[in-house]
Structure 1
Amino acid sequence: MEEVVTCFLKSLPVVSLIICCISLTGTAEDQNKLERIEMCSTKCSQGLNCETSHSLFSSVCQTPSDDFKTSPVFQDINLSTVLRCEERQKCSLHLSIQMRMRIRDSIHGVSICTLRHGLIPNCKVISFSKDSIESGSLVDIENDCTKISLSQKVLLTVETVPRYCNTNWTQVYTAPGCSNRDLQQHVPDCIIHPTSAGVWISAGKLLYKVNPEEKSITVDVIDFHEGHNYNLRLCHAKGFICTSTGPLAVIKKEDTIKRATLSYSRLVPCLCIEGWSAVLDARRVQVCPFKQYVEELWTGITFDPIESSLSWQPLCPVTARVTLCQKQEHGDCINLPNTSHNVTRQKVKFAGVESHPQLCMKFSVNSEDWIRCPFGDQRFTAWEVSRHPEGAVLLYSPARGIFSVELCEVESMMPPKTCQSAHNYTIKVENRTSVEVPLPSELLHRTFCLQVRRQDVRYSVTLVHCFDPILQIYSNTSVNPSWIIVPTGALLALVILIALMLHVCLTVHQRRTQKEKNGSCPYEKQKDYTCVFMVSALPSKSALLGEAFVPVSPQNRSNEKAILLSD
């Protein structure tokens, strides 16, 4: 810390400042690396011959002389952890004790005792001869032969030999844990400690990648104990228990590529990857990277048609509120009264539920809701209210049920529709049958609504059906058959009469035409008029072109010319 302050207090150029800070960063990284020893030993200052022995009990303390009070025996004691490695991945932790003490003529050794929780004290005595050391001199003593475990708390007591009262030194020391990067790579119990990094997320020494298309997770293992196989599995973590979701995968120690593929059905928040070395009582690591997949929990809703019960149990521990609701046309889901339950792990069950497509479950976590409608598929058909062409209202149900039908006036046509009840009917419907609702006849002339709800279940939806009076009037209008038959018969008779007259005229015209060709057509004026009249009754091609048809022979033309000349 002093180096950091000094670095920033000095008025250095920018380049020098960067170099200073880089050197500090490197120092911080070096602090994570522990000192190595080849063999444990005891070291003393030059001129001080040391020997180590073990002792179980400390002797009764003696009263020190006055010079012990003026100048303490133990001036400085430092504790640290060092590693002794047999192989690269087979290192053990040792407690290193470095002390500086003042020699007295009466002191010929030091006792170092360590006490661990649940174990008896372990004491060792360092004896020394001080032929060349004057009394009152400061000497250094170091010992690193005390084994310790990961994250272990040790009570350390240092005393003189012989033991003098009120001269001892005591301190509690905590060994480093697997958060130390050096231990993660070289201590067997720390090789699977969890961390994270990048797209491929590291879990200690586990790297994984999700393959959504194949519903699988590829796991690579790094720096696990090379002398043993490695086990991998997927499991659902619930507290201290992780329940397997599939078979165990084993990576052989002989395998060049330390990789395995695990299959999953759904990614849920408590789905974890668990790995451990295939040794007795090996430490395990769990990586649970799918905490955000909360939506996948709202599956597994089951319906028992015999009990008419709807149930759901979370796959993972979750704090949620479960409510039955009725889905509306605009997408909202209105909660049914007295149906809310707070859940964490327990099963939720609703007994006496109507299997209607609009009856749904609402899951609420914090301020977010998820709606699941288990009866929305084609397997479940709902009861219906329809109108017969003659105006009757029919209630159809695919299953036996008792329904409450309320005649009411609409208060709001906006969804959800609400109405005020005016009259109530109770209707029993058998399987796949329709029953007519007994409504007053005066309803045909005004708008009315029916509020329908199934009564023989505990949880059901309530629907409002409204009917238009115009549709009702047209569907009930009665027509007298004589209004159609009489005009139709008269029109048919007229058509037949006209057809007969046209047939007669056509026949007469054809005969007169034939006679003219044969020169036998009479020339009397009266008959000529008759002939003209009869022909005009059936227009010919000339008449259609706007010309009058009058047959004239050459003799008639000569007579008309003689008459004109005589006049």
Structure 2
Amino acid sequence: MMRSVVLLLLVFSSYRARGEQIERIEECGVRCSQGLPCDGSYQISLQQCKNLSGGVTSDVFSNTSISTVMKCSGKQRCSLHLRVSTDLQINRHIRGIYVCMVTTGMMERCRIVNFSRASRGRLLNEQVNVKDDCLEVRSGEDVHVTLKTWPHICNVAVYRSYKVPGCRNSDIQRSVPGCITGRIQYDVDVEKKELSVSVSDMLEDKDYQLRLCHKGYICTGTGAQAVVEKENPKKKVTLKYSKPVPCLCIEGWSVMMDAPRVQVCPFKDRVEELWSGITFDPVEETLSWEAACQVDATVNLCELQEGGVCQELASSSQTIVKRKVTYSSVDPHHRLCMKFITKAGAWVKCPFSEGNFPAWEVTTQEGLRQLLVTSRVKTSLSLSKCAKTGAHECEDMETTVVEVEKFQTVKPDLTMDFCEASVCIKAKRTDVKYGVTTLYCPPPCSLSVSKSEGDDSEWQLMHVVVPVVALTTALIVVAVVTGIAMIVFQIKRIMKAAGIARLPGPHTDSFSSVTEASNSKTQLSKSVLFDICGSGSSQLKCGESSSLLNDSTKLLVEA
């Protein structure tokens, strides 16, 4: 409850500070009430105090107040002044007052307010209000004000402390050159990684500088910068960025000495971008992370388990020092991750989840009941045969240590019955400081054998049966073509020897002549067939030849 009240008071005071209107004056000066003529001038208060027997005390001052006013000569040309107001009881010993002010690192500055002798006599023992607003101050200053009588009477003074409104005050921010920072607006182009930045309410007679920087104890520039010239009507530039981290800010200021700066951070809520700077050296086996921004976080290595839970590894917790964390002697396993813990929450990043650095693996030789260990690095592995008792529990039965050379495969000396479904292998590197334990459960032997037999059948089908069938078909086709060619050749040879010419067409011969010629050709074909079958040199059977003979005879008749 108390904390809520304090927060409300802070918000209220901040709102008042930003929204408070500052009174404007055309000229500074001194004003006195009751028609008392008075004037003021700057003077150094070096006068020694005087002890008077009249009994003058500090009660002569009352209702003392301090405020801030602005003296302006233009829209953006205002200066801040301190207005000191007090009620003074006129005394015959008092001819005026000193208004003195001192700030940190500065000498005391004073003004003296004089009353005329005639006016003092007329208002003797009367209270007169005196105001002076000619002491110039800067925004946000802590000032100490002293009021003294003139001449200075010992032990007669009033002391006040005052805080000048700062540049957060909206009225001052628009009017005092030392507080005018300009207003920055931006648009983000994610694809091009560009920020389109526009500036408004900047000093009209000054150029404006813009840059990208990483905000920390100081804002360190990234190299991207630009100048908005005062003559530029658009007041717009483009800045390129490389990574949208939360500390990446746009910083702007007017091009002049001691100009105030304003910072706008477009990606302040993108905390997850901080955890992407993880690198791994496969030669040194070193895992490193370097933050792009200043951040308070604790880093741990952890082993990713089922359900997304990441179990922290012993002795792996580190606090960020100089934005960098390094782990040496690390096994690059896909379940080895980094956990980042901040006040805002926790994030887990697994740099090896894509399998970019697989150092070793345990497999089963295809078709055989043999365990194999393959490694891309020289390593030492602890292998334990275990009986699985739960989803993640496995009780050790037999353990052996295997030394594996670089790019070598080793057959561990472990007696295993692959037909036992509950038997698994636990494997972990023993030559590294940080690693995870892998549980490998071989497939059941029946599945392995059936898979092997299926693979053999498929191999035989593709590499034996198909080529044999193709070769046999090719031989049959060649034999048929060769047989037809030999029959045609024999017929032509016999016809040439017998002197048989082409028969005349039906336009000149009778039907009987055609019949005789056909019979003659039929007898000739049979004679050829007899010669071929009798010789035994043909590769075709006589039955097949008879079929060919009938076709040939038909062709001869048609001819």
TM-score (norm 1): 0.70
Question: Equivalent residue for 1:159?
Answer: 148
How many angstroms does 1:175 deviate by?
1.3
Q: 1:434 aligns with which of 393, 409, 412?
A: 409
Q: For 1:248, what is the secondary structure of its paired residue?
A: strand
Cα distance change of structure 1 residues 51 and 171 upon mapping to structure 2, 3 Å threshold: closer
Gaps of 5+ in 2: 1-15, 454-559
Q: Show the counterpart of 1:34.
A: 22
SS of corresponding position for 2:339: strand
Q: Match of 1:431, as an amino acid?
A: K
Amino acid at match of 1:35: E
One-letter code aligned to 1:32: E
Percent of aligned pairs with the same amino acid: 37
Structure 1 residue 328: Cα displacement: 3.4
365, 389, 398: which one pairs with 1:411? Answer: 389
Instruction: Decide whether the 8 Å contact of 1:32 with 1:182 is kept in 2.
Output: yes
Q: Does 1:273 align with 2:260?
A: no
CA distance 1:211–1:190, shift in 2 (3 Å): same
Cα RMSD for the two superposed structures: 2.9
- Residue identity opposite 1:158 in structure 2: L
Q: Matched residues in 2 for 1:447 and 1:76: separation?
A: 92
Paired residue secondary structure (2:73): strand
Counterpart of 2:212 (choices 234, 259, 262) is 234
Q: Counterpart of 1:432 in structure 2: which amino acid?
A: F
- 1:458 corresponds to 2:433: yes
Mark the CA change 1:97 to 1:446 in structure 2 (over 3 Å): closer, same or farther: closer
Change (3 A) 1:377 1:134: closer
SS across alignment from 1:131: helix
| Aligned match of 2:37 | 48
The yes-or-no answer on 1:60 pairing with 2:38 is no
2:223 is paired with a residue whose SS is coil
1:423 aligns with 2:410: no
Q: Aligned equivalents of 1:474 and 1:48: distance in 2?
A: 118
Instruction: Describe the shift of the 1:126–1:434 C-alpha distance in structure 2 as closer, same or farther (beyond 3 A).
Output: same
| Cα separation, 2, equivalents of 1:309 and 1:442 | 38
Query: How far apart are 1:382 and its partner, in Å?
Result: 4.5
Question: Residue 83 and residue 424 in structure 1: after superposition, are their counterparts in 2 closer, same or farther (change >3 A)?
Answer: same
Distance 1:472 1:391, change over 3 A: farther
Instruction: Quote the Cα distance in structure 2 between the aligned partners of 1:464 and 1:238.
Output: 45
Describe the shift of the 1:158–1:476 C-alpha distance in structure 2 as closer, same or farther (beyond 3 A).
Answer: closer
- CA distance, structure 2, for counterparts of residue 312 and residue 29 of structure 1: 43
Aligned to 1:249: 226
Shift of 1:94: 1.0
| Aligned-residue offset at 1:127 | 1.9
Q: Of 109, 122, 145, which aligns to 2:109? A: 122
The structure-2 alpha-carbon separation of the partners of 1:390 and 1:105, relative to structure 1 and needing over 3 Å to count, comes to closer
After TM superposition, the structure 1 = structure 2 runs for residues 65-144 of structure 1, keeping only pairs within 5 Å, are 65-66=54-55, 68=56, 72-132=59-119, 133-144=122-133
CA pair 434-29 structure 1, distance change in 2 beyond 3 A: closer
| Kept in 1: contact 2:17–2:169 (CA 8 A) | no
**Matched position secondary structure for 1:425:** strand
Match of 2:442 among 457, 467, 479: 467
1:329 shift after superposition: 5.0
Paired residues of 2:30 and 2:38 also in contact (CA < 8 A): no
Return the alpha-carbon distance in structure 2 between the equivalents of residues 264 and 182 of structure 1. Answer: 34
Indicate if the aligned counterparts of 2:224 and 2:241 stay in contact, CA closer than 8 A: no
Which residue does 1:296 correspond to in 2? 273
Take 2:105 and 2:416, find their aligned partners in 1: how far apart are those partners? 92
1:242 positional shift: 1.3
Cα deviation for residue 296 of structure 1 reads 0.6
Asked if 1:327 is matched to 2:314, the reply is no
Match of 1:393 in 2: 371
Structure 2 CA distance, aligned partners of 1:442 and 1:153?
Answer: 85
Residues 374-393 of structure 1 deviation map (CA, whole Å, 9 limit, x = unaligned): 22335323422222313122
Instruction: Decide whether aligned partners of structure 1 residues 321 and 74 sit closer, same or farther in structure 2, where only a CA change above 3 A counts.
Output: closer
Q: CA deviation digits over 1:149-169, x for unaligned, max 9?
A: 112122212222222233322
- Cα deviation, residue 181, structure 1: 1.5
Alpha carbons of structure 1 residues 420 and 113: separation in structure 2 relative to 1, 3 Å: same
Against the structure 1 CA distance between its residues 143 and 397, is the aligned structure 2 distance closer, same or farther, given a 3 Å change threshold?
A: same
Deviates more, 1:440-449 or 1:352-361: 440-449
Partner of 1:217 in structure 2? 195
Q: Following the alignment from structure 2 to structure 1, what is the Cα–Cα distance between the partners of residues 420 and 197?
A: 74
Return the letter of the residue paired with 1:268. Answer: V
Cα distance in 1 for partners of 2:448, 2:236 equals: 77
Aligned to 1:554: none
Measured against aligned partners, the alpha-carbon deviations of 1:171-218 in whole angstroms (never above 9, x if no partner) come to 1122111122210110012212xxxxxxxxxxx722233333332223
1:259 and 2:246 are equivalent in the alignment: no
**Paired AA for residue 40 in structure 1:** C
Aligned residue type for 2:28:
C
Give deviations 1:454-511, integer Å, cap 9, x for gaps.
Answer: 2222222211222356439958999xxxxxxxxxxxxxxxxxxxxxxxxxxxxxxxxx
The aligned amino acid for 1:455 is T
Sort the Cα spacing of 1:233 and 1:219 in 2 relative to 1 into closer, same or farther, 3 A.
same
Of 167, 178, 185, 1:178 maps to 167
Deviation per CA, 1:283-333, whole angstroms, max 9, x where unpaired? 222233533211111111111122110011222222323222233354433
Name the residue aligned to 2:380.
Answer: 402
Determine helix, strand or coil for the equivalent of 1:246: strand
Extract unaligned runs of 5+ from structure 1: 1-27, 193-203, 479-567
In structure 2, relative to structure 1, the CA distance for the partners of 1:185 and 1:440 (3 Å cut) is closer
Q: Distance in 2 between matches of 1:409 and 1:398?
A: 29
Contact 1:318 1:344 in 2 (8 A): no
Contact 1:97 1:142 in 2 (8 A): yes
Q: Write out per-residue CA displacement over residues 499-547 of structure 1, whole angstroms, 9 at most, x where no aligned residue.
A: xxxxxxxxxxxxxxxxxxxxxxxxxxxxxxxxxxxxxxxxxxxxxxxxx
Structural mapping, 1:437-516, within 5 Å: 437-440=412-415, 447-467=422-442, 470-471=445-446, 474=449
CA contact (8 A) 2:19 2:171 kept: no
Contact 1:445 1:473 in 2 (8 A): no
Q: How far apart in 2 are the matches of 1:361 and 1:101?
A: 72
CA contact (8 A) 1:317 1:344 kept: no
* Conserved 8 A contact 1:42-1:52: no
How many pairs does the alignment contain?
A: 434
1:151–1:176 Cα contact (<8 Å) kept: yes
Tell me, in whole angstroms, the C-alpha distance in 2 between the residues paired with 1:470 and 1:356. Answer: 28
d(CA) in 1 for partners of 2:277, 2:290: 7
Runs of 4+ in 1 over 6 A off after TM superposition: 28-31, 475-478
SS in 1 for 2:97: strand
